[in-house]
Amino acid sequence: MKNKSVKVLALVMAVLMTAVVFAGCGKPQDPGKTPGTNADGKPSETKTEKELVTLSAFIMQSVSSNFGLQEDWIAEIMRDELKIQIEFAPTGDQVEQKLQAMMAGGELPDIVGFKESKQGIAAVEAGMLLNLDQYKDKMPNIFENDLLKYAVKYSRNELSAGTGGFYIIPSAVGPLGATKDTNWKPMLMWDVYKKAGMPEINTLEDYLPVVKKMQEIYPENEAGEKVYGFSLFSDWDSLTALQISTLSFMYGIDTEYVSPLMEVHVSEHTIGSVLDEDSFYKRALQFYFNANQMGLLDPDSLTQKFDTVQEKYTAGRILFSHFSWMTGQFNSRGSGHVDADEPNGYEFVPAKDFKIYDAPNQTIGRAWSFAISSRTKYPDRAVELMNWLYDTETYKLMSNGPKGVLWDTMENGEPYITEAGWDIIDNNKDMPLPGGKKLSDPTTNWNTLGYTASLNDPKTGYTLSYRYWPTSLTRNPTKLQQEWRDWSGYPTQIAMMKDLGMISPATQAINMVPSAPDDLLMKMNQIGDVVRTNSWKMVFAKDQAEFDALWNDIVTKANGLGMQEVKDYYIEQWALALERVSEYED
């Protein structure tokens, strides 16, 4: 305990020092005081000539390991056009504690990205955020934008600590309805699945014997490294083992957005606890326990991080993926697999009983949001940056690069990626622009932007991201994609899901459940320590008897720590969210 206390103290002190480096100067400002002023009431930014300024940013939702001064092709554009550059504070692990330390020290960086609405509301209450209503004339892309009308309304009503002011800007506004893909879906290594006879899969549990047969056919990759059926990682864990709970989305069950401790059946609008005896979480734990008993689970799953798992996918060492995008570079054209004479790669092979989560049209955005510190030395420039980020043209720029580099338009105005552009995208090449680096690098430090990729640009009628442009959707398929189409009889995976009734449409109420109050959150964190730790023990239990004993131990301890109170809170808040959701939809 003593060593743990010393480590915590060291972390807080280190973050406090970081806060000093990345924040403006002064004490927290009262919500009623005019933001952006010095102690004498005069504007803190008096220069009229635009000079290059460095704005600090702490983006909690970012999972990027990059920090420091942003250096890439978009940074060059920002310096040239806005005379602004961004210095990102490190995020990584324990971002909540880092934010608490900054707030305790009375300082926030110029730009803050919040992971939960509760964090932003606390900053409003502490007078630490800029009231953006006083900058309406400088933020037309937010205040005069019909795309954001419900997001602004929701922020005033729900995120302003009762003041009715506009402090917090929601992100990811727009549709997430799958045009081409979904986030959660089962992917199998195609060539090995073919060699296994392409057996029918009816339920989640049917993957186990199928993947076992695949492993027997393909026990090692070309480099002689052992191949596993499943490989997990723990660095995204929160109150539960996230890589285990995330299987729930294949059955239309949210175990993340409302609360990791709760299971929301999005189509039925019902809610329960991950610790209910009939919970899906228990089923998922049993699934991976069985996988481990069969020798299918990577023994490094508890200790390894996401980057390591991606490397294993790139090396062809894993047979199953539960995310549509988690395949490393194995599915890239440059890998040589997807266009081989016997094409290989990861392809969609669903169980017949799946009801895959389909996210709602996020008219209010999601819990991830942005705000500006009330103590920034450059309020006008910070406001200018946020207005720029919420310009649909900026989103298109950051998603697709400048026109003429990767893409162009036809005579009728339809956008398309050029052959040179596809070469850069498919082979993950650096951008041929000053600053260079990858196309996606500018967004990694932000993690999310103001809109969703599938939002239609009001000016053109085409989606903001190239991924959903007509020419992208109909582009020449790889041999792997063509084989899948021939096998399934569908042109796209989404078409298959919709036709077979494999979609569970979610309600926007999923994004409207408020974070738990501090006293309940403390209990949830204690419960999470028990759930998370014992979950991994259950997966690697020696036998079924130990698995069952560990489950009973989780339930008993969690109940003793207040699990019923947690459940009651979310049942009540979910019902309220369902009642209020109509206020923020057309």
pLDDT digits (tens, 9 = 90+) for 279-320: 999 999 999 999 999 999 999 999 999 999 999 999 999 999
For residue 63, the model assigns a pLDDT of 66
Distance CA 504, CA 270 (A): 13
Residue 498, burial from CB neighbour count under 10 angstroms (0-12, 13-18, 19+): middle
Cα 367 from chain centroid (whole Å): 11
Q: What is the DSSP letter of 360?
A: -
Over residues 26-60, the pLDDT tens digits come to 333 344 333 333 333 333 444 456 899 999 999 99
Query: Are 353 and 201 within 8 A, CB to CB?
Result: no
The tokens of 475 are what?
């582009």
Q: For the whole model, what pTM was predicted?
A: 0.75
* pLDDT attached to residue 423: 93
Residue in this structure with the two tokens 């298109």, named with its chain if needed: 396
Distance CA 530, CA 562 (A): 12
By three-state DSSP, how is residue 451 classified? Answer: strand
Residues in the chain with pLDDT values less than 50: 1-47
Is residue 186 a contact partner of residue 496, using CB atoms and an 8 Å limit? no
Helices (H) and strands (E) in the chain, counts: 21, 16
Could you tell me which residues are beta bridge partners of residue 463?
456
Token pair 């010095």 in the structure block, residue:
38
pLDDT at 3: 40
Burial, 42: exposed, middle or buried (Cβ in 10 Å; 0-12, 13-18, 19+)?
exposed
Q: What CA–CA distance (Å, rounded) separates 408 from 355? A: 38
Sequence-distant (6+) residues with CB within 8 A of 575 are none
Identify the residue whose tokens are 């992971």.
115
Amino acid residing at 431 = M
d(CA 581, CA 583): 5
Rounded distance between C-alpha atoms, residue 566 and residue 276, angstroms: 13
**Amino acid letter for position 492:** T
Q: H/E element holding 103? A: helix 95-104
Q: Are strands 356-358 and 346-348 parallel, antiparallel or unpaired?
A: unpaired
Residue type present at position 400: N
Backbone conformation region of residue 351, classed left if phi is above 0, alpha if psi is from -120 to 50, else beta: beta
